A and B are shown apart, each in its own frame.
Chain A
Amino acid sequence: MPNTAFPNRTSNFFAALLVLLSSIAFGQDKDQPISHVLIRAKHIYSPGCVWGEKGEVFISGGKIKYVGPSINIEGPLTVLEVDSLMPGIVDAYSSIGLSGGSSEVSREITPEFDTYSAIDWSSRDFVEAVGEGITTVQVIPATESVFSGLACIVKSAGELKQRSITNSGNAVLAVCSDPTSRNRARSRPDGVYVRQPTNRMGVVWIIRSSFNRIRSGGKVEGADPTASSIMKEILDGKRKSLAVSRTDYDIRSALDLGDEFGFQPTIYGGDEVYRIIDEFKKRKGKVVYTALARSASTNRGNEGTALRWNVPGKLLEADVPFCLAGDALLDQARFAVRFGLTPEQSLAAITLRPAEMLGLSDRIGSIAAEKDADLVAFNGDPLQPTSGISWTMVDGKIYGNDKSKQ
C-alpha cells in the first residue's frame, strides 16, 4: 500500500532509516502536539480492519490519514511501535466532570439546561477516563427531573475549544420512576421535596401534557422560551431525544410516547429489554445498554437482576441496534466476550456502535482514514484482562497512562 503523505519510491529499508534519523533529528516532546506520527502496530483491532492483523497508521494534524499493512513514508515524523492498537472507546452514558449537582430540584421541565456549561474540565474524571482508554463521552444529566436537560458530547482530553464535538445535544427524558424519588413523605407541602410527579403515572403525564401544550402552540409554563423551542424541535424531528428507561414497562412507555408524538427516543439503560425483545425489534428500538456494568457480580440473587449476563448476545441475535455504556467500559467489553459475543462484536459495542448511536460514526469509532486520531495502545490483546493500556491518543495527542497530566 504505497499510500504516503510525501510520495516516495525509496525502499522500505531506506525509509525506515530516514524515519529513524528524522525522529532523532526532530525528537519531539510528548507534551507538544505531534504533527506527523506513524504508528506501527503488531495487531490492529478495529471495525473495518482485518481482525488482529499487523498494520500501520499515519496521523497528521490530529486526524488519521492512512491505514494499511505498511506505509512507505519519508519526512520529519515520530514513529511509535506498539503491540496492539484499537480505536478510542466511546462512552455514550456518562456523568463525567458534571459538577455542582446533576439534577434540577425546583422544576420538572428543564430541557434547556445543558450539561456542557456545568462541566469541571479539571475534574479527575477526565484523567481516569483517558487512563481507561475512553476518548469520547456523552455527558448526561441525572434523571431526577422529567425533562432533565441536554446531553453534550465531548472529548476526554485536549484543548478546551476542541472538546465539544456536537452543536446539538440529545434531549434527555426520564421515562422511569427516578423523578418520583425526590418526594419525601411528611415534608411540608410547599417544600421543594414535594413536587409533581409523586408517582410514575405523573412522570408520563408531565411528558404527555407538556408535549400536548407545545403541539397546540402553547409554551412551557414558567420557563424560558428556549425550553419550549427545544421541545418543539423534538416534535418537529429536528432534535434527537433519549429516554432513560430500565424496566420493560418503562421502555414500553418511552416507545409509546414516541409513537404518540412522532419521535423515536433511543433507550438508555435497557436492563429488561430482553423481556420484550421481539416487540422492541418490531418497534425499531435502539438501546444504549448499561446493565452489564452492574451485573458481573455473581453473588447477587440468582434470579432477576442476575439474568442480564448475555443481554448483548440476545440483542445481537435479534439484530437490534445496541452499544454498551457506563462504568468500566473496557471491562464490560471483556466480560461481554466471556458471556457470548465474539471479540469483534464486543469491541465494536464500545467503539463504532456507540459512535453510530451518537451520529458521529463519520468522525470516531474506528481506525479509518479521515477520522479523528483517537486511539488506544495496549501491550497485548485489548480484550484480555491481563493486557494493559500503554497510552491513549486523543485528536493526535498522546496521554501516557502514568503521566496523564493534561
Chain B
Amino acid sequence: MIINLSKYRIGTFLLLGLSIAAAKLHADGPLAIQGAKIIPIVGEPIAVGTILIRDGKIEAVGKDVVIPGEAKVIDATGKVVMPGFVDAHNAGAMTSANERNELVPFLSVVDSIDPVSPFFDECRRNGITSSAVVPGNSTLIGGQAAIVKTAGQYVNDMLLKREAGLKISLRPASGNRMSQLAKLRKELDKAKKAIENEAKGEKPDSPAEPKKEGDEPAKPTEKPEGGADEPKDDNATGQPEGSGDAASQAAGLEALKKAIKGEQPVYIYCETGMDVTAAIQLISDYGFKPIFVLGPSCYKAADLLAKRNETVILDPSLVFWETNPRTREDKKIIVPQLYRAAKVPFLFQTEGFGARTSLGSSFFWFQAATAVKYGMPEKEALEALTIAPAKRIGIEKLVGSIEVGKDADLLILTGEPLNISTWVDQTIIDGKVVYERSKDEKIKRLLSPVAE
C-alpha cells in the first residue's frame, strides 16, 4: 500500500511537472491584436477589428471582440492584418537543393533543414509562415518533402508534416528525356509490382522491410552512412542507382508505393510543354496524385492542364520574351494571364539565392502584384499566397486564413499587402511574435548604408 501510495505521489508530481511545462509553453497567455484592418481571406475584410489568440490558436475574430483583462495587446491601429503566406514549393531551406545522386526516393528533406539558416530569417521577414520544403528540380526522384513552420529552434518544433510529397523531375538531370522517363518508369514499375504482389498476399520481394512504428511511416532518415554518396557503379548489379544498400532501397520502394497508393502526393516538375504530356501519361499509368511544378514554357500545355482542374505551381519567372525562330516575331509571354485565360488556377514561387529574373521576384507579394498588374483580381492573388497553397499541400485546416480555431499565423503589415511601400511589421507564428521590424538590425543596415 505504502509503496503504491508513493508511486501514486510520484505520479502526481510527474503530472504536476508536466502541466507546469505545458503552461510554460503557452506562458504568454492570450494575445489580442487590436485596431487593424483584417483581411481574413476566407470571409469579408473587417475595416477595424480585433483578433484574439489563445494557446497559439485564433480564438475570436471580429469588430467587437471582448479582450480579456490578462491578454497582452498589440495595438495595430492603421495597419493591416492577414494570414501568413504559405509557400507550396521551395528548396531554399535545404543546405543544397539536390543530392548529387539523382535517384534518391528514400531521402527526406527533414535531414537537411537547418532551423537557424538565413532562409528562415528571410521567410519571417517577408511574411512566409509555412513552407513546403521540396527537393530541387535537378533530379530524377529527388526525395521526400516536408512541410514546416518557419520559426523554431529544432526541426521537430517546426514540422507540420513529414513525408509531404515525393519529388520527381521530368527534366533530365543527366542523359536525355528518353532515358529520364525510362529510368523513372522502371522505378515506378517496381513499386507498382510490389503493391500488386502485396495485394495477392505474396511477400514483398524487397530485401528488408522497414520497421513500422505505429502509424508513423518508415523513416528514410535511417540510411547508413555514405548510402547516398555511393558511386554510381551499382548499375552493374541491376540495382537502382543510389540505393547501394538494402535498407535505403527498401525505404525508397516504400516511398514510391505510398506515392502510387496516393498516400503522399508527387511534386512533378515539368520543364516544357512536352513534359506535361509525359506527366499526364505517367499519372494515368501509375495513378499517383500530382502537384504540378511548372517551368516557364509549360504555358504551351495550358489546355491539357485546364482539363485536370488542379492548382499548379508556376515558375518564378512570370513575364518573359520569346522570339519565334521562323518568323522572328517577338512575343511577350505573360504567364499568369495565359493560365487565367485557360482557367488553370495557379500558385506563385519566389526566386532566391541570386537566380532572379527580375528585381521583385524574390518576394511573394511582388509576384502576386505582378499577376494583378496583368488582370488577376487582387482577392484571388491574395488567396494564391495563403489559402490556395494551404489547400494544395493539405494544411488548410491549420493555416491559410484568419478563422476561429486555426493556427495564429498572422502578418501585421504597415499597409495594403500589394503596395510597394508596405512592409511586414510583425510576423506571428502559433501565437508568438517571431519577427518585429523595429528590432530587425539587418533592415536598418540595409536602409541606412554606411561604411563599416
Tell me which of A275, A385, A402 contacts B366 (CB under 8 A): A385
Do A297 and B356 contact each other (CB < 8 Å), given the known contacts A276-B451, A302-B118, A386-B373?
A: yes
* Cβ < 8 Å to A, chain B residues 81-120: 92, 118-119
Do residues B321 and A124 form an inter-chain contact, with CB atoms below 8 A?
yes
List residues of B (361-392) whose CB comes within 8 Å of A's CBs.
Answer: 362-363, 366, 369-370, 372-374, 378
CA separation between A275 and B360, bound complex, in Å?
26
| B: contact size bracket | 35 or more
- Per the bound structure, the CA–CA distance linking A62 and B353 in Å amounts to 45
Mask of A104-147 contacts with B, CB within 8 angstroms, 1/0: 00000000000000000000100110010000000000000000
Within 322-363 of B, Cβ neighbours of A (below 8 Å) are at 323, 330, 332, 351-354, 356, 358-360, 362-363
Stretch of B33-41, B160-168, B251-259, B441-449 at the chain-chain interface: B441-449
Contact B353 A299 (CB under 8 A): yes
Nearest-neighbor residue (CB-CB) of B119 within chain A:
A299
Q: Is A168 interfacial (CB 8 A cutoff)? A: no
Chain B 405-452 residues near chain A, CB threshold 8 A: 418-421, 423, 442, 445-451
CB pair B359–A388 under 8 Å, yes or no, is no
* A128, B125: Cβ atoms closer than 8 Å: no
Q: Is B122 an interface residue (CB 8 A)?
A: yes
- Residue contact B122 to A298, C-beta cutoff 8 Å: yes
Residue A306 CB within 8 A of the other chain: yes
Q: Are A274 and B359 in contact (CB under 8 A)?
A: no
Q: Is the CB of A331 within 8 A of B450?
A: no
| Bound: A329/B370 CA distance, A | 16
A23 within 8 A of B: no
Does A387 sit within 8 A of B, measured CB to CB? Answer: yes
Whether A297 contacts B420 by the Cβ 8 Å rule is: no
A55 to chain B minimum Cβ distance, whole angstroms, is 23
Check if A310 sits within 8 Å of B446, measured CB to CB: yes
Within 8 Å by CB of A388, from B362, B374, B446, lies: B374
Task: Compute how far the CA of A300 lies from the CA of B421 in the bound complex, rounded to whole angstroms.
Answer: 21
* Chain A residues near B354 (CB-CB < 8 A): 297, 299-300
Choice from A310, A311, A335 contacting B359 with Cβ under 8 Å: A335
Check B330–A302 contact: CB distance below 8 A. Answer: no
Instruction: List chain B residues, Cβ under 8 A from A385.
Output: 360, 366, 369-370, 373, 418, 420
Q: A299-B362, A384-B420 are in contact. Are A274 and B122 (CB under 8 A)?
A: no
- Contact indicator A310/B449 (Cβ below 8 Å): yes
- Give chain B nearest CB distance to A172 CB in angstroms: 25
Q: Please give me the residue from chain B that is nearest to A127 by CB atom.
A: B330
Is A328 within 8 A of B362, CB to CB? no
Q: Among the interface residues A124, A332, A337, which one has the most CB atoms of the partner chain B within 10 A? A: A124
> Does A24 interact with chain B (Cβ within 8 Å)?
no
> Does A313 sit within 8 A of B, measured CB to CB?
yes
Q: Does A21 contact B (CB under 8 A)?
A: no
| Beta-carbon contacts under 8 Å, B126-151 to A | 126
Q: Which residues of B contact A296 (CB under 8 A)?
A: 356, 359-360, 362-363
Chain A residues positioned under 8 Å from B330 (CB to CB): 124, 127-128, 404
Least CB separation from A387: chain B residue: B373
B451 x A386 contact (CB < 8 A):
no
Known: A308-B449, A311-B449, A384-B420. A128 touches B321 (CB 8 A): yes
What are the residues of chain B within 8 A of A211 when measuring CB–CB?
A: none
Please tell me if the beta carbons of B118 and A299 are within 8 angstroms of each other in the complex.
yes
A306 to B445, CA, bound (A): 9
| In the complex, residue of chain A having the shortest beta-carbon distance to the beta carbon of B448 | A310
Rounded to whole angstroms, the CA-CA distance of A29 and B355 in the bound complex is: 42
Give CA–CA (A310, B125) in the complex, Å. 18
B446 pairs with A309, CB closer than 8 A:
yes
The reply on A293 being an interface residue by CB < 8 A is yes
Q: How far is the CA of A131 from the CA of B360 in the complex (A)?
A: 18
> How far in angstroms is the closest Cβ of chain A from B136?
15
Q: How far is the CA of A385 from the CA of B122 in the complex (A)?
A: 21
A338 in the interface (beta carbon within 8 A): yes
Q: Considering the chains assembled together, what is the distance between the CA atoms of A299 and B122 in angstroms?
A: 7
Q: How far is the CB of A350 from chain B (nearest CB, A)?
A: 13
Whether A328 contacts B358 by the Cβ 8 Å rule is: yes
Contact B447 A339 (CB under 8 A): yes
A337 and B354 CA atoms in complex are apart in Å by: 22
The reply to whether B420 and A335 contact each other, CB–CB distance below 8 Å, is yes
The answer to whether A331 touches B421, judged by C-beta atoms less than 8 angstroms apart, is no
A363: Cβ under 8 A from any B Cβ: no
Residues of B close to A292: CB separation below 8 A: 359
Q: Give the distance in Å from the alpha carbon of A308 to the alpha carbon of B359 in the complex.
A: 14
Indicate whether A306 sits within 8 Å of B446 (C-beta atoms), given known contacts A299-B119, A332-B359, A388-B373. Answer: yes
A50 to B126, CA, bound (A): 34
Q: Which residues from chain A sit less than 8 Å from chain B, CB to CB? A: 124, 127-128, 131, 248, 274-276, 292-293, 296-300, 302, 306-311, 313-314, 327-328, 331-332, 334-335, 337-340, 383-388, 401-402, 404
Query: Which 9 A-B residue pairs are closest in the complex by CB-CB distance?
Result: A275-B451, A385-B369, A309-B446, A299-B352, A331-B359, A386-B372, A274-B449, A388-B373, A296-B359
Would you mind naming 9 contact pairs between A and B with Cβ atoms under 8 Å apart? Answer: A274-B450, A275-B451, A293-B359, A296-B356, A297-B354, A298-B363, A327-B359, A328-B358, A335-B420
Interface residues of B (CB under 8 A from A): 92, 118-119, 122, 125-126, 321, 323, 330, 332, 351-354, 356, 358-360, 362-363, 366, 369-370, 372-374, 378, 418-421, 423, 442, 445-451
